[in-house]
Structure 1
Amino acid sequence: MRKNKALKIFKKLHKWPAIIIAFFAILFATSGIVMNHRGTFSSIDVSRKFLPSNYTYKNWNLAAVRGSLQTGENEILVFGNIGIWETDGNFGEFSDYNQGFPKGIDNRKIYSVIQFKNQLFAGTHMGLYSRNTKKNSWEQVDVPVREERIADLNLKGDTLLVLTRNYLLKSSDGKNFETIQLPAPVGYKEKTGLFDTFWQLHSGELLGLPGKLIVDLLGVITVFLSVTGLLHFFFPKIIKKRKKKQKQVGSFVAVKKKNLRWHNVVGYIFALFLVINTFAGMHLRPPLLIAIANKQVEIIPGTHLDNPNPWFDKLRRVHWDNDLHQYIFSTSEGFYFAGESFSKPLQTALSQPPVSVMGCNVFKPLGEKIYMVGSFNGMFLWNIETGVVANFFTQQPYVAPEGMQSPIAANMVAGLVKGNESAFWFDYNRGALQLSGKTFPEMPEQIITNSPMSLWNTALEFHTGRIFEHMVGPFYILYVPLAGICILLVLISGVYLWWKLHRRKG
Structure 2
Amino acid sequence: MSRKRIIKIFRKLHKWPAITISFFAILFAVSGIVMNHRGTFSSVDVSRKLLPANYTYKNWNLAAVRGSMQTSENKILVFGNIGIWKTDGNFGEFTDYNQGFPKGIDNRKIYSVVQFKNQLFAGTHMGLFSQNPEKNRWEKVDVPVRENRIADLNLKGDTLLVLTRNYLLKSSDGKNFETIQLPAPLGYERKTGLFDTFWQLHSGELLGLPGKLIVDLLGLITVFLSVTGLLHFFFPKIIRKRKKKQKQVGSFVTVKKKNLHWHNVVGYIFALFLIINTFAGMHLRPPLLIAIASKKVGIIPGTHIDNPNPWFDKLRRVHWNIDLHQYIFSTSEGFYFAGESFSKPLQPAFSQPPVSVMGCNVLKPLEEKIYLVGSFNGMFLWNIQTGAVANFFTQQPYVAPEGMQSPIAANMVAGLVEGNESAFWFDYNRGALQLSGKTFPEMPEQIITNSPMSLWNAALEFHTGRIFEHLVGAFYILYVPLAGICILLVLISGVYLWWKLHRRKR
TM range (shorter): over 0.9
Q: 2:289 is matched with which residue? A: 289
Q: 1:102 is matched with which residue? A: 102
Deviation at 1:352, TM superposition (A): 1.7
Q: 1:334 is matched with which residue? A: 334
Q: 1:197 is matched with which residue? A: 197
Q: In structure 1, what is the Cα distance between the partners aligned to 2:443 and 2:363?
A: 25
Q: 1:30 is matched with which residue? A: 30
> Aligned to 1:497, what secondary structure does the other structure show?
helix
Deviation at 1:329, TM superposition (A): 0.3
Q: In structure 2, what is the Cα distance between the partners aligned to 1:486 and 1:366?
A: 50
Q: Deviations along 1:47-93, whole A, 9 cap, x unmatched?
A: 00000000000000000000000014541000000000000100010
Deviation at 1:368, TM superposition (A): 3.2
Q: 1:271 is matched with which residue? A: 271
Contact 2:130 2:139 in 1 (8 A): yes
Aligned residues: 506
> TM-score of the superposition, structure 2-length normalised?
0.99
Q: In structure 2, what is the Cα distance between the partners aligned to 1:324 and 1:193?
A: 31
Q: In structure 2, what is the Cα distance between the partners aligned to 1:2 and 1:365?
A: 71
Q: 2:311 is matched with which residue? A: 311
Q: In structure 1, what is the Cα distance between the partners aligned to 2:455 and 2:283?
A: 24
Q: Once the two structures are aligned, what percentage of the paired residues are identical?
A: 90
In structure 1, the gaps of 5 or more residues are none
Matched, 1:146 2:142: no
Q: In structure 2, what is the Cα distance between the partners aligned to 1:244 and 1:504?
A: 34
Q: 1:474 is matched with which residue? A: 474
Matched, 1:177 2:191: no
> Aligned to 2:40, what secondary structure does the other structure show?
helix
Q: 1:219 is matched with which residue? A: 219
Q: In structure 1, what is the Cα distance between the partners aligned to 2:88 and 2:420?
A: 9
Q: In structure 2, what is the Cα distance between the partners aligned to 1:306 and 1:237?
A: 53
> Aligned to 1:210, what secondary structure does the other structure show?
helix
Q: Which amino acid aligns with 1:257?
A: K
Q: Deviations along 1:364-396, whole A, 9 cap, x unmatched?
A: 000131000000000000000000000000000
Q: In structure 1, what is the Cα distance between the partners aligned to 2:234 and 2:13?
A: 17
Q: 2:365 is matched with which residue? A: 365
Q: In structure 2, what is the Cα distance between the partners aligned to 1:437 and 1:479?
A: 42
Q: In structure 2, what is the Cα distance between the partners aligned to 1:449 and 1:272?
A: 45
Deviation at 1:350, TM superposition (A): 1.2
Q: 1:392 is matched with which residue? A: 392
Contact 2:183 2:342 in 1 (8 A): yes
Contact 2:61 2:431 in 1 (8 A): yes
Q: In structure 2, what is the Cα distance between the partners aligned to 1:9 and 1:259?
A: 23
Contact 2:167 2:182 in 1 (8 A): yes
> Aligned to 1:41, what secondary structure does the other structure show?
coil
Q: Which amino acid aligns with 1:480?
A: V
Q: 1:457 is matched with which residue? A: 457
Q: In structure 2, what is the Cα distance between the partners aligned to 1:164 and 1:368?
A: 26
Q: 2:383 is matched with which residue? A: 383
Deviation at 1:323, TM superposition (A): 1.4
Q: 2:111 is matched with which residue? A: 111
Q: In structure 1, what is the Cα distance between the partners aligned to 2:254 and 2:353?
A: 65
Q: In structure 2, what is the Cα distance between the partners aligned to 1:146 and 1:299?
A: 22
Contact 2:26 2:222 in 1 (8 A): yes
Q: In structure 2, what is the Cα distance between the partners aligned to 1:328 and 1:90?
A: 31
> Aligned to 1:439, what secondary structure does the other structure show?
coil
Q: 1:247 is matched with which residue? A: 247
Deviation at 1:39, TM superposition (A): 0.2
Q: 1:421 is matched with which residue? A: 421
Matched, 1:78 2:85: no
Q: In structure 2, what is the Cα distance between the partners aligned to 1:190 and 1:29?
A: 33
Q: 1:67 is matched with which residue? A: 67
Deviation at 1:505, TM superposition (A): 4.5
Q: Deviations along 1:82-112, whole A, 9 cap, x unmatched?
A: 0000001000100000000000000000000
Q: In structure 1, what is the Cα distance between the partners aligned to 2:243 and 2:494?
A: 29
Q: In structure 1, what is the Cα distance between the partners aligned to 2:324 and 2:270?
A: 56
Q: Deviations along 1:298-340, whole A, 9 cap, x unmatched?
A: 0000000100000000000000001110000000000000010
Matched, 1:14 2:14: yes
Q: In structure 1, what is the Cα distance between the partners aligned to 2:449 and 2:400?
A: 42
Q: In structure 1, what is the Cα distance between the partners aligned to 2:218 and 2:503?
A: 26
> Aligned to 2:302, what secondary structure does the other structure show?
coil
Q: Deviations along 1:249-278, whole A, 9 cap, x unmatched?
A: 000000000000000000000000000000
Q: 2:405 is matched with which residue? A: 405
Deviation at 1:504, TM superposition (A): 5.6
> Aligned to 2:350, what secondary structure does the other structure show?
coil
Deviation at 1:178, TM superposition (A): 0.1
Q: 2:233 is matched with which residue? A: 233
Q: In structure 2, what is the Cα distance between the partners aligned to 1:248 and 1:152?
A: 68
Q: 1:125 is matched with which residue? A: 125
Q: Deviations along 1:121-150, whole A, 9 cap, x unmatched?
A: 000000000000000000000000000000
> Aligned to 2:344, what secondary structure does the other structure show?
coil
Contact 2:122 2:130 in 1 (8 A): yes
Deviation at 1:502, TM superposition (A): 2.6
Structure 1 runs (4+) greater than 2 angstroms displaced: 502-506
In structure 2, the gaps of 5 or more residues are none
> Aligned to 1:209, what secondary structure does the other structure show?
helix
Q: In structure 2, what is the Cα distance between the partners aligned to 1:100 and 1:323?
A: 37
Q: Which amino acid aligns with 1:468?
A: F
Q: In structure 2, what is the Cα distance between the partners aligned to 1:74 and 1:92?
A: 13
Contact 2:72 2:118 in 1 (8 A): no
Q: In structure 2, what is the Cα distance between the partners aligned to 1:286 and 1:172?
A: 44
